[in-house]
Amino acid sequence: MHRKALLGNVTDNDLRLLRVFRAVVACGGFAAAELELNINRSTISRHIKDLEARLGFTLCRRGRAGFALTDEGAQFHQTAQKMMAALEDYQHDVNDINQRLSGPLTVAIFDKTASNPACHIDRALALFDEQAPGVHLKLHVEPINAIERGVMEGRFHLGIIPDHRPSSSLGYLPQHYAESFVRGQHIRALATDRFHYVCQFSAILRQSPPPSRVVATLLEALVGAH
């Protein structure tokens, strides 16, 4: 079979189809992607079929067995991730030239970060919004490994993660998270003089390309709020 290639003449419609495909993969299926994309499942299915027709190969299997990428789909997904990340970097670079703080900004935060009273993400975002009201900020709550991988792949412009990972054989809980359970006598701390650690959180981002003015502004807001 002769295969078409999504090369050279990339249209706005192609980019829209790529965004739909990326969201479907990130959500793990068509049904879960409905809320993310705010379009119904039949429309999502049509978009994926259009993209497959444009490419000339099948991207995914969907049916009773669930959603799964084909080998070609998995390979193309990696390429699509790089392409979309490059486009977002391009948009940030153009904004830097124009001295405008605008465009999309995707940030991933480790679970239970925002509920920590020592964490002032809300203040940082308020400061950032004052300086960059034209930026469309999208927040994700993800596990540490997913945040690191997302930053390296360019899906997240910035990640916020703890810098310490305790042994998985011990049941550590953040102190602020455990307090209500301790007060209710549902759990109690054991040997706190031996089993405890102090955890700091760090913002991570790719070394290359260097951070855009939008990302740098958010970093400044994070530092200023803490």
2 — pLDDT class (breaks 50, 70, 90): very low
Coil/strand/helix, residue 140: strand
Lowest mean pLDDT among 18-32, 89-103, 142-156: 89-103
Contact 134, 100 (CB under 8 A): yes
**3-class SS of residue 110:** strand
With a pLDDT cut of 70, the percent of the chain lying above it is 89
State both tokens at 7.
């090369």
Running DSSP on this structure, what letter comes out for residue 78? H
More confident site: 97 or 133? 133
Mean pLDDT on 3-28 = 80
Task: Tell me the C-alpha distance between 219 and 176, whole Å.
Answer: 25
Confidence band (pLDDT; 50, 70, 90) for 37?
A: confident
Work out the end-to-end distance of the chain between its first and last CA atoms, rounded to an integer number of angstroms.
59
Q: Report how far residue 45's alpha carbon sits from residue 72's, in angstroms, rounded to the nearest whole number.
A: 18
The contacts of residue 113 (CB under 8 Å, 6+ apart) are 119, 121, 160, 201
Average pLDDT over residues 82-108: 80
- Residue 20 binned pLDDT confidence (cut-offs 50, 70, 90): very high
**Taking residues 48-54, what's their average pLDDT?**
92
Is it the case that residue 1 has pLDDT exceeding 60?
no
pLDDT band at residue 59 using 50, 70 and 90 as cut-offs: very high
pTM of the model: 0.54
Question: What is the distance, to the nearest Å, from the Cα of residue 6 to the centroid of all Cα atoms in its chain?
Answer: 25
At residue 114 the predicted structure's pLDDT band, cuts being 50, 70 and 90, is: low
pLDDT at 166: 56
Question: How far is it, in rounded angstroms, from Cα 35 to Cα 27?
Answer: 10
* DSSP bridge pairs for 160: 109, 203
| Alpha-carbon gap, residue 67 to 65, rounded angstroms | 7
Give the pLDDT score at 128.
93
Q: Are 36 and 23 in contact (CB under 8 A)?
A: yes
Most confident of 91-100, 106-115, 217-226: 217-226
Q: Where are the domains of the chain?
A: 12-86, 101-163+200-225
Contact predicate 22/74, CB 8 Å: no
Pick the CATH number of 12-86 from 3.20.20.80, 1.10.10.10, 3.30.360.10, 3.40.50.280: 1.10.10.10
pLDDT score at 98: 64
CATH code of 101-163+200-225, in short, is 3.40.190.10
Residue with tokens 């054991």: 190
